[in-house]
Copies of this chain bind each other. A is one copy, B any other.
């Protein structure tokens, strides 16, 4: 590896077993300005573990002041929920996609208790992350000798916005951009449909929107009652993303909401949403087709919010 990374990141390289694949060498550079965490298990963290921990923690950090559980597989969320208790949030998140949760990483916004530890120890997981673990929860989790148990020392609230830049190296040059830390903007957040969302639906829309921000573009998140019903990302067409997300949300889509990380470019997505009885859609807005899209939402009595903000993530 380039020795200059050491100077640039002001840290010694710590060798990892390998990178995303066994044939790739990899390192991590951790310095004093980075978020602090402790690995309470005896299992080594791999490159892919660190990617998943990062993804799960950044989504959980969007909900740092409530009970949240976020499940990540392959650097992509596959379940997220809020609950009156952390256990409720966990069970709701788990229910989104139990198949994908096999081998997943879960971030909790609050201290993990015995109830959660009992259930989590019955599932094959790669890692759990939380600001703390009750002693009896830790005892149960530690029985799984393959599980990485990560205690976050830096608060989620701080982690949330501490990354300033992203770097993407290509053979054509190196791209550097500010990290997407943009919050929802009250001045651009608008109800644009005749059907008005009630307070609960607005809260579900904001919940789904905050998750869609962390899903690869085109991202579509279907949610209801602070629970994801399906999360689809990395699609090359918006209608494919919407249809796949609706298929996976199954029957639960009725009265649920859809969040799209960009604008909806055509009425086909609204028609697909209407067929599944979706109650509300939150999207960026700002295309020349906005009027058609809002007209279609009105026709099917779907509440629609535009944010004026786009969250493409590639």
Q: Does A135 contact B (CB under 8 A)?
A: no
Look across to chain B and name the residue whose beta carbon is closest to the beta carbon of A8: B8
Q: How far, in angstroms, from A25 to B75 measured CA to CA in the complex?
A: 24
Q: Does A285 contact B (CB under 8 A)?
A: no
- Contact partner of A236 (CB less than 8 A), chosen from B13, B97, B244, is B97
Q: Does B165 contact A34, Cβ atoms closer than 8 Å?
A: no
- Shortest beta-carbon distance from A146 to chain B in Å: 14
Tally of chain A residues near chain B (CB < 8 A): 83
Q: Does A122 contact B (CB under 8 A)?
A: no
Given A51-B168, A99-B239, A234-B233, check contact A30 B73 (CB 8 Å). no
- Contact partner of A35 (CB less than 8 A), chosen from B168, B171, B178, is B171
Segment of A14-22, A137-145, A194-202, A251-259 in the binding face: A14-22
Q: Does A97 contact B53, Cβ atoms closer than 8 Å?
A: no
Q: Does A165 contact B169, Cβ atoms closer than 8 Å?
A: yes
**Chain B hits for A206, CB < 8 A:** none
Look across to chain B and name the residue whose beta carbon is closest to the beta carbon of A52: B314
Q: Does A309 contact B23, Cβ atoms closer than 8 Å?
A: yes
- Contact partner of A248 (CB less than 8 A), chosen from B50, B180, B240, is B240
Q: How far, in angstroms, from A34 to B169 measured CA to CA in the complex?
A: 10
**Chain B hits for A178, CB < 8 A:** 1, 19, 24-26
Q: Does B22 contact A176, Cβ atoms closer than 8 Å?
A: no
Q: Does A177 contact B26, Cβ atoms closer than 8 Å?
A: yes
**Chain B hits for A13, CB < 8 A:** 176
**Chain B hits for A76, CB < 8 A:** 234-236
**Chain B hits for A99, CB < 8 A:** 237, 239-240
- Contact partner of A176 (CB less than 8 A), chosen from B26, B100, B231, B312, is B26
Q: Does A182 contact B (CB under 8 A)?
A: yes
- Shortest beta-carbon distance from A17 to chain B in Å: 11
**Chain B hits for A312, CB < 8 A:** 20-21, 48, 74
Look across to chain B and name the residue whose beta carbon is closest to the beta carbon of A28: B173
Q: Does B234 contact A182, Cβ atoms closer than 8 Å?
A: no
Q: Does B177 contact A100, Cβ atoms closer than 8 Å?
A: no
List 7 contacting pairs A-B, 8 Å CB cutoff, sorted by A: A21-B180, A28-B174, A34-B173, A48-B312, A74-B234, A167-B167, A169-B179
Q: A11-B174, A74-B236 are in contact. List 9 more A-B contacts (CB 8 A).
A: A1-B165, A5-B176, A27-B175, A29-B173, A31-B173, A53-B172, A57-B171, A163-B171, A234-B235
